[in-house]
Structure 1
């Protein structure tokens, strides 16, 4: 099994025709708005900045804040990471004592939309998710097809694939990540090593989702699955798959997949057998991920407030996703193209939060 990322290797959910089209012709064609877990209270020792940026990664913005204002990196609070190929709006916190220096901060493409105080530093993952507004150009006359697909996704849910941003330029990160996990890499930067090895976790997870789709198990449960309740977020072991699967068909619960690591127990029974089959396709075992902490990730997610507006040359689609999920998974279903083919990758520190090292979604 090839570790190089390719949409063609991942099963789509919807059978509807794709609209085709082109993304990101202009930065304003891809807008990402962070949905915070909470808003600043207006008082406290931490200053929350609502920032809009174009042409910068969150990591680069953070470096400029530390350089220009004198803030220590450890004192910056960031809930999620956003990439440079979009107009993105997010919150960043810093000690309130630096408020008087904000007038000296200048970075082309960055605006401070709002500043307010709060009692605590913004924490990694302190966001509900992101809202995306995306213009698809070069797809005239296909808005009806895209709407039909969007309606299906609203009912069925969305395959929670890791998008190409996780796999770097050319989609090659997982191949180097496997060398890291096996102790064969000469790379020494710990942040880069974590990012690359997480790409292997992502590749295995993506294949698991795709295989469940191939076998009609996307909206079904297997014995041994760890399923998550949509309303409360509670997780439970599936012992009687036949009894629980109707709830999955209704979207009330969904299976989770394993991001293998030392603190995450592999699934058992039928679900465990499927994941071991996937690992075997890559020539891997759970033990190779001993350097990773590990986590669980939903196989299926649901959009919120999805809307589509026809345009002269295509359409604009908007939707909200939970944190850690990729807008490209929606756009792939709508367009049925190699959406954001690996090549738009940002810096290694600009990643997605679905494992223990990262928080945010670049889209």
Structure 2
């Protein structure tokens, strides 16, 4: 019931889906090769410059773990290694890292279990967080009871209408309980002292409120349309503007040119107003929160929907394989949840130093 305090434990069943139907069911991550992620660079590399760029394929390591291993093996500081996004341990993932040029010969002799250097080149600047266009996913769904045609139908809907840009379970820790401790941090009741861990925990609360706001939009039928007071974002340029005339701007939203954003609350971001603000306040109130609770955070805006491309579904003996591209910051589990209609990855081990597919 709206107005009741809802659970802060992540649960897909509490989040409204875009598509209807029973879903295919199935199992993910029987082995690392079932979940393959390829980072898509933001820009072409120059082939020359003072920074060494290495494309690395890893299995059984988080990105942070690989950085620690490389720093020790190559004799550099961890902060000298640049990365565009964070990738999961429980997958086969390929991404670019930047390194000081002086380690080239040591890199050639590198031998780390589960880490393969695919190619090496040079560039003029260090790689920074967020310097990626997105990710290419190839994921095998095993033991699926539903048909491949079901999966293709859902993929077609997502390609046309957009993917609900939910934060996936990787954001909320094993068992989805990080937001509970994050709320204690916001209230000054937590015993956690590490500033980095405290930020991680409070970001889980931000994410939970965003997910609630997005779920309400889907429930109320305003996922692909706009409300007065929305802060909408242009998909081509990234420009953000306030919606004053939802009917006129709604035509652009229907064409997939613009989409509403949700607030990741913090001191640098204003809450929404008018009808959009009322919906946002409802999402906050569901957890007994107000915007001022997040004064310790900087804040940001996040698109409520993203568009996948180059999507495909291929039949396998015991299920199917899906492939698609998503822009950075989006979670593949949001796509898989729509197809499978299960509690996708909620019980999978989560990496606290890693937002998995999130690349946040």
Alignment map for 1:340-355 (pairs within 5 Å): 340-346=345-351, 348-351=352-355
Q: Deviations over 1:159-185 (max 9, x none)?
A: 000000000011000000111122211
Assess if the C-alpha contact under 8 Å between 2:88 and 2:356 holds in 1.
Answer: no
Q: What TM-score do you get using the length of structure 2 for normalisation? A: 0.96
Determine the structure 2 residue equivalent to 1:263: 268
With 243-252 and 31-40 compared, the bigger mean Cα shift is at 243-252
Compute the displacement of 1:17 (Å).
3.0
Assess if the C-alpha contact under 8 Å between 1:205 and 1:259 holds in 2.
Answer: yes
Compute the displacement of 1:352 (Å).
6.1
Write the distance in 1 (CA, Å) between the matches of 2:215 and 2:154. Answer: 18
Q: Deviations over 1:104-138 (max 9, x none)?
A: 43221110001111111001100001000001111
SS in 1 for 2:322: strand
- Give the one of 22, 27, 50 matched to 1:22: 27
Determine the structure 1 residue equivalent to 2:133: 128
Write the distance in 2 (CA, Å) between the matches of 1:256 and 1:335. Answer: 26
Assess if the C-alpha contact under 8 Å between 1:230 and 1:253 holds in 2.
Answer: yes
- Give the one of 255, 259, 265 matched to 1:254: 259
SS in 2 for 1:275: helix
Q: What TM-score do you get using the length of structure 1 for normalisation? A: 0.95
Assess if the C-alpha contact under 8 Å between 1:168 and 1:342 holds in 2.
Answer: no
Alignment map for 1:282-297 (pairs within 5 Å): 282-297=287-302
Compute the displacement of 1:141 (Å).
5.7
Provide closer, same or farther for how the CA distance between residues 127 and 289 of structure 1 changes in structure 2, counting only shifts above 3 A.
Answer: same
Determine the structure 1 residue equivalent to 2:160: 155
Determine the structure 2 residue equivalent to 1:357: none
SS in 2 for 1:282: coil
Q: Deviations over 1:174-226 (max 9, x none)?
A: 00011112221111111111111100000000000000000001011111101
With 209-218 and 334-343 compared, the bigger mean Cα shift is at 334-343
- Give the one of 228, 235, 257 matched to 1:230: 235
Determine the structure 1 residue equivalent to 2:311: 306
SS in 1 for 2:152: helix
With 14-23 and 206-215 compared, the bigger mean Cα shift is at 14-23
Assess if the C-alpha contact under 8 Å between 1:33 and 1:130 holds in 2.
Answer: yes
Task: Say if 2:226 is the partner of 1:198.
Answer: no
Compute the displacement of 1:92 (Å).
0.5
Alignment map for 1:1-363 (pairs within 5 Å): 1-139=6-144, 142-346=147-351, 348-351=352-355, 360=359
Write the distance in 1 (CA, Å) between the matches of 2:77 and 2:304. Answer: 38
Write the distance in 1 (CA, Å) between the matches of 2:207 and 2:357. Answer: 11
Write the distance in 1 (CA, Å) between the matches of 2:264 and 2:357. Answer: 12
Compute the displacement of 1:232 (Å).
2.3
SS in 2 for 1:116: strand
Unaligned stretches of 5+ in structure 2? Answer: 1-5
Equivalenced residues, count: 355
Write the distance in 1 (CA, Å) between the matches of 2:125 and 2:308. Answer: 30
Write the distance in 2 (CA, Å) between the matches of 1:51 and 1:285. Answer: 43
RMSD: 1.3
Write the distance in 1 (CA, Å) between the matches of 2:29 and 2:228. Answer: 42
Structure 1 stretches of 4+ with a deviation exceeding 4 A read: none
Write the distance in 2 (CA, Å) between the matches of 1:297 and 1:222. Answer: 16
Compute the displacement of 1:26 (Å).
1.2
